Structure 1
Amino acid sequence: MNRTVAIMGCGWLGLPLAKALLKDGFMVRGTTTSESKLEMLQNEGIVPFLISLSEEKIDGDISSFLINTEVLVINVPPKLRNGNKGNYVKKIQLLLESVKVAKTKKVIFVSSTSVYGNIEGEVTEETIPQPSTESGKQLLAAENLFADTPELRTTIIRFGGLIGRDRHPVAILSGRKGLTNGNTVINLIHLEDCIGIIKATIGNEWWGELFNGVYPFHPTKKEYYTNEALKRGLVIPEYSSSGIPSGKKIESRRLIHVKKFRFNTPF
């Protein structure tokens, strides 16, 4: 059995994922867009590649990165905030063409719950996405590029807001006043559970699937971030709105009820 996993994007999620897969006996290839990170990746035991996606071409040795790969993990966010008008779909289309040439069959596409937009109420994998941001719209289009390619066995994982030991929204929100949407519920997931879902997908051969990846805990933002600030000794963020819980509540229905996946890391 080929035990090679190629991770496109060894950043905040991709690097610890690569380390976890190495511990499980996989050979791991990983990309970075920064030459200064190549040595660090190599020192971790990852076969490093300097690869950058643009709308016109792929810079770097994408063929060697993909050749004889059992699983490709695509972990490349659109990065379209703050007025950035880039064409993420074009970049992903170029990557798809390279994947076809390399004859890689198993793909995990790391996506986001932002594709659901501003839907109210319970959201499951059966909910039709209604993206409201340019990033969400392009991410959904990119998902479909891979999902609609019949020769690939693509699993899409839509993660909620990512948090971890060194990354928690309360650090930014602490002390802020007049925050809105305090009555909307949270949809978060810890880094360790992200890694667990990806590892379970590979290990259990969960291909051709669509999963929501959100921890099953949905207090309001006001309730949650107030408690988190108190736990950390931070100044409590102040919300101008309150009331009954609202917004979208994203359920990881297929993972929990169909695949019997257990989320292990509360936050």
Structure 2
Amino acid sequence: MSVSIIGCGWLGQALATVLLAEKVPVLASYQSQATLEKLNSLNIPATQLILPIAADINAIASGSNTVNVDQALFENDVLIIAIPPQLKKGKLDYPLKIKQLVKLAEQGKTQHIILLNSTAIYNGLVGAINENSSLDSSAAKVETLLAAEQAVKEFSKQVHILRLAGLVGPNRHPGKFLQSGRVFTHASAQVNLVHQADVVNIIKLLIKDTHHQPPVVYNVVSHTKINRKGYYQAAAKALDLSVPCFEPEQDEQASKQVIGDKLCTELQYRYVYDDLLHWAVTL
């Protein structure tokens, strides 16, 4: 099995390193020189890919504007799409990028696409949320993430969509997250997080899954059950950092709890870091 990783940042680099150690052929894409230098330092084979390739999808279909695309990225068995949506930067071209990658995958030898999306797709919802929960697509962020998922579902072969909770892990300790000195909101909101190592393990399981089936969506989230105030204050204390302050709440605010039981059941997966409070305070 051979793997291409589109957008090989913090998570992709960890995945590529593990796969290469297991003798799995890997080719990563990069945009910036800084990323290339990091990939070179990790001995991860890489080629440049700047997205979007063209202003619209028709250019891909006609074969124009792809002269600078290294087709080797789409000759491997599995295509992992790990590009950031960049919604906080006001960009809404994420679905176009996904459509172009799917089109190139169809033209190549890709057999399986794994899209790394975000549990931000559940923004606006409260209570226990699973993969079948109705989405509030009135928000531009949700609409954009959903459109990206719809685009990847158009791929004619195997598709998995992973809705990742907030990522923590090496060099991403949550004790450092809320250190701006300002007063934070949503003290009683439930944290929804996952460790990098668990995401890598889950992707490895899916890479080995060669059963063609309709597109599958999984929430990827630990079972850590604690509110934002309790979690981030404990995490900061563990590093001897300033404890973040939160606005007082008269009543506990309704929040969402993303449920990832479907993945655990269907893949028979047991999280290595299922209690991310314990992990954060015992490093």
Q: TM-score, normalised by structure 1?
A: 0.90
Partner of 1:173: 178
* Residue 197, structure 1, aligned to residue 190, structure 2: no
Distance 2:238 2:19 in 1: 33
1:85 Cα shift?
3.7
Pairing 1:224–2:231 present: yes
CA-to-aligned-CA distance 1:44-73 (integer Å, 9 cap, x gap)? 343211111125256733312212x11110
After TM superposition, give the deviation of residue 35 of structure 1 in Å: 3.4
Structure 1 residues 73 and 85, CA, compared in 2 at 3 Å: closer, same or farther? closer
Alignment of 1:6-85 (within 5 A): 6-38=4-36, 40-42=38-40, 44-54=42-52, 55-56=54-55, 60-67=68-75, 69-82=76-89, 84-85=90-91
Distance 1:198 1:206, change over 3 A: farther
Shift of 1:26: 0.3
Counterpart AA for 2:26: V
> What fraction of aligned residue pairs are identical, expressed as a percent?
28
CA contact (8 A) 2:127 2:256 kept: yes
User: Is the Cα–Cα contact under 8 Å of residues 80 and 116 in structure 2 kept in the other structure?
Assistant: yes
Alignment of 1:1-267 (within 5 A): 3-38=1-36, 40-42=38-40, 44-54=42-52, 55-56=54-55, 60-67=68-75, 69-82=76-89, 84-131=90-137, 133-149=139-155, 151-174=156-179, 176-205=181-210, 208-242=215-249, 243-244=251-252, 246-265=254-273, 266=276, 267=279
User: Which one-letter code corresponds to 1:264 in the other structure?
Assistant: V
Q: Distance in 2 between matches of 1:87 and 1:27?
A: 30
- Show structure 1 runs of 5+ residues with no match: none
Alignment check: 8 A CA contact 2:92 2:144 kept = no
Aligned CA RMSD, in angstroms, stands at 2.1
**1:245-265, Cα deviation, whole Å (9 max, x unpaired):** 631000102112232211102
Q: Which moved more, 1:160-169 or 1:35-44?
A: 35-44
The answer to whether the 8 Å contact 1:63/1:102 transfers is: yes
CA contact (8 A) 1:110 1:156 kept: yes
Deviation, structure 1 residue 148: 3.2
